Structure 1
Amino acid sequence: MRAFLLRLLALTMLAAPVQAFETNARTAWIYDVATGTVLMDKDADQPVPPASMSKLMTIYMLFEALENGRLRLDDTLPVSTKAWQMGGSKMFVEPRDNPTVEQLIKGIIVLSGNDACVVVAEGLAGTEEAFARQMTERGRALGLKNSTFRNSTGWPDAEHRMSAEDLGLLALRLIEDFPQYYGDFALTEFRYMDRVPSNRFNRNPILKLGIGADGLKTGHTQEAGYGLVGSAVQDGRRVIFAITGLPSETARAEEAERIVNWAFRQFTMKQLVPAGETVVEAPVWLGTQPRIALTTAAGANVLIPAGAEDDVKVEAIYETPIPAPIAKGDRLGQLVVTVPGARDAITPLIAAQDVPEAGFAGRMKGAVMQLGKKAMTAAGL
């Protein structure tokens, strides 16, 4: 068999090319969820101090404990002296308290409570040190290749590191794995027992801007600078980003808003192939029918830079002829979408229906026809 490549479409855009995003962040990663496209990457695989943004891993493990039944939202956890004495951002729990899991979730997400993180860590693993080891192990399993955890809070430690890409991927997992809990990331305030009334506001600067932001987590230490893992949705399209190492709260807020505006204004999503629509019909070898429709399970979407003067190429690649038997859903090739300056978007091509192997007579007929074609080729016809 030979590889067969079919060019399906070329789109020509007629204005100036998209402008690359320039950032003052130490590291940055911007990602379009619907198409799986990395829009920008600045040293995104470099492990850096994540500060409180690493609390996202503590939250992820707490959500997993809820999912697998180890905890319930109305369960209470004890407050140790260690948790009570934690410095930095606090929920202001005290040893006599018995905060519920639901309160602790909001205390971590909204108030960035270091004390709440330690309560959770000790409640799930006995000690914060043991929990940090579990965080690292679970992070590796989730594909966080550049993350090492030494505590549950992001408290400064020479070996506590995450990359911007890992922070963004963890945000994606939180959104996709726990939609029932993700709404808490959009809360702008939470009051715990009115103990410190002024300590109730979410530090995430983009939540109140009216740009579709619904999460996730800020971070700041002297070593780490100011950072943010954010996400926003506009017209059903979600963008996730992570930035680290900015010099001030103001710089962080301005950079986050710029990223959201750039990601949604400089790119548009186009559906090139609807789900289930035939992309191409391919020849079948020794089957009960001569051709089979190839389609996609979820369609093919692509981000096109707004006003880019480039060709967007869409190509179907598969081996031909395809030997029978073929089962509906078999992966038989791939649809490759090429946008200059971006990674190729690859979507599997699958069989739209079953094609059984032909009986003896059909196989003989196919063999004779193939021999006839070879003879005609040899004769130069």
Structure 2
Amino acid sequence: MMLGSKNTHQRGLAFGVIAVAAAFTLNPTANAQAQPEPQVPSAQDAPIALLVDVTSGQVLHARHPDRRFVPASITKTMTLFHAFELIEEGRIDPRQTYTLRPETWREWKGKGSTMWLGAKDEVTVASLLYGIANVSANDGSVVLAEGAAGSIEQWVEGMNARARALGMENSHFGTPNGWPDEGATFVTARDLVTLAQGLVTRHPEKFRQYIGHPTYVYNDIEQRNHDPLLGRIRGADGIKTGYTNEAGFGFLGTAQRDGQRLVMVVANSPQGRVRDRAARRYIEWGFEAFDRERLFGPDQVVDEARVQDGAARSVGLRTRDAVVVNVPSGHAGEIVASISYDGPLRAPIEEGARIATLRVEVPGLDDATIPLYAADAVEEAGFFARIRNGFFGWFG
């Protein structure tokens, strides 16, 4: 591996160059269940497909990742994210209850996928979240939206605000549940991966609590989760399927093994069984077609950056988690890493502040980008320290 660093002015920083042989051995998958044959789905089976290792940020495979499509019930993933954010902000509580309005019941009783809410049910937010996440409750999505925001319109406005904040630049939501709306709702595979990453990184406990259950019971009616990975793929823990005549069959899913989390999208599949088979083979391919190379450990200082007007002239750049990248099996080339930051950095700097980016280039893959953090706090320099720093800046 070659490692160098640069700031936005393209000034090279001193750093050692290390050669690393990129030959690896796969760890066998320890799973008693028969695993599907790993492979990238055909364009016929999955016209849109994207597989990303969100741990390293590497795109492992992409087919039309920025093409807009109708997500159908995958829309509910944004409803879940918006609700999780509201809970975190203290604006709704999982224990509070909403009463189903008669007109809402009449409109959504048995309409598409449902959790079978009763005509005058008082239902908790938690129950609605379970229903939305695991049995794709159209009725539950509407009740949550009306109860939490006062109207569908206000809820959808909140969904779109969350999407913009996450950086979902090519997506828009017109309903809380993905019911056909004449094209007002659209997404891209890349934006859905961004949304999934937001769910698992910002709300890991809520993700584990509400998402990825194989069945859900409400009003004494048990229904199963149609997630094609759950119970079949080791490490699979959710997220959401979708289907309408307009959208075809789609799936946003994720699985985690040995500290590595993959997120995948397949969309516009012609049949449900085709989508399910493609999804299982796709994510297995992601785990098996690559070897993982550990470059740095957690909390490791990998370089330093210049600091202007600080009590110290530089600050260490530290990883937060172990830096592990995917390398195609059998690859025997060079891994190149570089560090960039807007420099010189200006004091004061808080310890743990994100101040730089580590970029790792692996031939045949998109670059991995990993944030780096300040290893120490750097206070603003006093008058005499500024003079001293200026002197050293001129002479060395």
Question: Structure 2-normalised TM-score?
Answer: 0.78
Specify the alignment match of 2:62 in structure 1: 41
Q: How many residues align?
A: 363
Specify the alignment match of 1:237 in structure 2: 260
SS of the equivalent of 2:131 reads helix
1:10 paired with 2:34, answer no
Q: Name the amino acid aligned to 2:95.
A: D
User: What whole-Å deviation, never above 9, does each CA across 1:55-102 have from its counterpart, x for those lacking one?
Assistant: 111112222222222222221111123432321111111222111111
Change beyond 3 A, Cα 1:249–1:309: same
1:90 paired with 2:114, answer yes
Q: Distance in 1 between matches of 2:330 and 2:341?
A: 32
Change beyond 3 A, Cα 1:105–1:366: closer
CA contact 1:5–1:315 (8 Å) conserved in 2: no
Specify the alignment match of 1:257 in structure 2: 280
Offset, 1:177: 1.7
Specify the alignment match of 1:187 in structure 2: 213
Q: Distance in 1 between matches of 2:84 and 2:354?
A: 35
Change beyond 3 A, Cα 1:59–1:363: closer
Structure 1: 5+ residue stretches without partners? 371-381
Offset, 1:282: 9.0
Specify the alignment match of 2:80 in structure 1: 59
User: What whole-Å deviation, never above 9, does each CA across 1:16-59 have from its counterpart, x for those lacking one?
Assistant: xxx99354312222111211112222212222110000011111
CA contact 1:5–1:317 (8 Å) conserved in 2: no
Match of 1:107 among 104, 126, 131: 131
Specify the alignment match of 2:178 in structure 1: 154
SS of the equivalent of 2:217 reads coil
CA contact 1:9–1:315 (8 Å) conserved in 2: no
CA contact 1:8–1:315 (8 Å) conserved in 2: no
Specify the alignment match of 2:245 in structure 1: 222
Offset, 1:327: 7.2
Deviates more, 1:96-105 or 1:63-72: 63-72
Map 1:65-84 → 2, pairs under 5 A? 65-84=86-105
Structure 2: 5+ residue stretches without partners? 1-8, 25-37
Specify the alignment match of 2:150 in structure 1: 126
1:314 paired with 2:337, answer yes
Q: Distance in 2 between matches of 1:230 and 1:151?
A: 21
Q: Distance in 1 between matches of 2:190 and 2:345?
A: 42
Calculate percent identity across the aligned residue pairs. 32
Change beyond 3 A, Cα 1:346–1:5: farther
Offset, 1:161: 0.9
Offset, 1:292: 6.9
Q: Name the amino acid aligned to 1:186.
A: G
SS of the equivalent of 2:360 reads strand
Deviates more, 1:131-140 or 1:185-194: 131-140
Specify the alignment match of 2:190 in structure 1: 165
CA contact 2:41–2:281 (8 Å) conserved in 1: no
